């Protein structure tokens, strides 16, 4: 058998090549979405771990400060994040990433102030309001129900950071209905605005229609859009 005959017998036919290409295409169509889904799940898991660590740090801070939560800060100054970063047992190089959701869409820029903490999470505006003293955890009637920290919409005009506090819907800031009336705790909150197009103090349902939140007792959970009730926001009833 000469080399030419051997080469002819070893060559692929056009049909065989097309079959192999088709098989590769089918495998790619199966694998690529799976890889993307696994990647998204990993980001969601890291995010919920982040809000849990932040909430637990807030609980520890309160335990050491007569049950008072840390001050949110003024304006866009994330004072609460700087305060709680000191309570998170993570290497300094990784502390910044704790406060940023790995699934956030907009890139986040570092601050010119080296003490600032980049963040895409926010605090409950009624418990830790901007420009005002924070409240005590003793004011919360249902610690395991009420959201303390949550993933938030990003502000493209402010380095991709989130506003300090969750202020929308209004029940996050106002703990009663009009003229002091009580609020139906079983009513669902509004999710009217959920995007990163402006300074937007709403929670962000970025993980397949869910938002990662941590409650006032420190535990964290993913909540689907449209399932959060007033009882998860109102802490005075």
For residue 9, is it within any domain? yes
For residue 66, is it within any domain? yes
What's the pLDDT score for residue 115? 77
For residue 130, is it within any domain? yes
Question: What does the pLDDT profile of the chain (237 residues) look like in tens digits?
Answer: 554 554 455 666 777 777 778 788 777 777 666 655 667 788 899 999 999 999 999 999 999 999 999 999 887 678 999 899 989 877 666 666 789 999 999 999 887 777 788 899 999 999 999 888 999 999 999 999 999 999 999 999 999 999 889 999 999 998 866 555 688 999 999 998 899 998 899 999 999 999 999 999 999 999 999 999 999 999 988
What's the pLDDT score for residue 144? 97
For residue 104, is it within any domain? yes
For residue 200, is it within any domain? yes
For residue 206, is it within any domain? yes
Domain count, the chain: 1
pTM: 0.82
Domain of residue 195: give its range. Answer: 3-232
H-assigned helices in 2-89: 3-10, 14-64, 79-85
For residue 83, is it within any domain? yes
Distance CA 89, CA 36 (A): 30
For residue 36, is it within any domain? yes
């Amino acid at each position: 058998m000469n080399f030419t005959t051997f080469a002819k017998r070893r060559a692929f036919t056009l049909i065989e090549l097309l079959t192999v290409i088709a098989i590769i295409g089918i495998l790619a169509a199966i694998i690529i979405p799976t890889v993307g889904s696994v990647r998204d799940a990993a980001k969601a898991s890291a995010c919920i771990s982040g809000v849990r660590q932040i909430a637990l740090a807030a609980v520890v801070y309160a335990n050491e400060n007569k049950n008072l939560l840390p001050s949110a800060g003024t304006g866009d100054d994330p004072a609460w994040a700087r305060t709680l970063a000191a309570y998170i047992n993570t290497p300094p190089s990784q502390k910044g990433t704790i406060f940023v959701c790995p699934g956030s869409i907009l890139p986040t820029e570092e601050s010119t102030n080296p003490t600032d903490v980049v963040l895409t999470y926010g605090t409950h505006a009624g418990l830790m309001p901007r420009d005002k003293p924070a409240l005590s955890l003793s004011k919360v009637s249902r610690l395991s129900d009420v959201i303390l920290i949550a993933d938030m919409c990003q502000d493209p005009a402010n380095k991709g950071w989130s506003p300090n506090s969750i202020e929308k819907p209004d029940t996050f800031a106002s703990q009663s209905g009009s003229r002091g009336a009580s609020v139906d705790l079983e009513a669902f909150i509004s999710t009217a605005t959920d995007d990163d197009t402006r300074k937007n103090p709403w929670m962000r349902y970025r993980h397949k229609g869910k938002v990662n939140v941590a409650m006032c007792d420190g535990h964290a959970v993913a909540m689907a859009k449209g399932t959060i009730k007033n009882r998860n926001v109102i802490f005075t009833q």
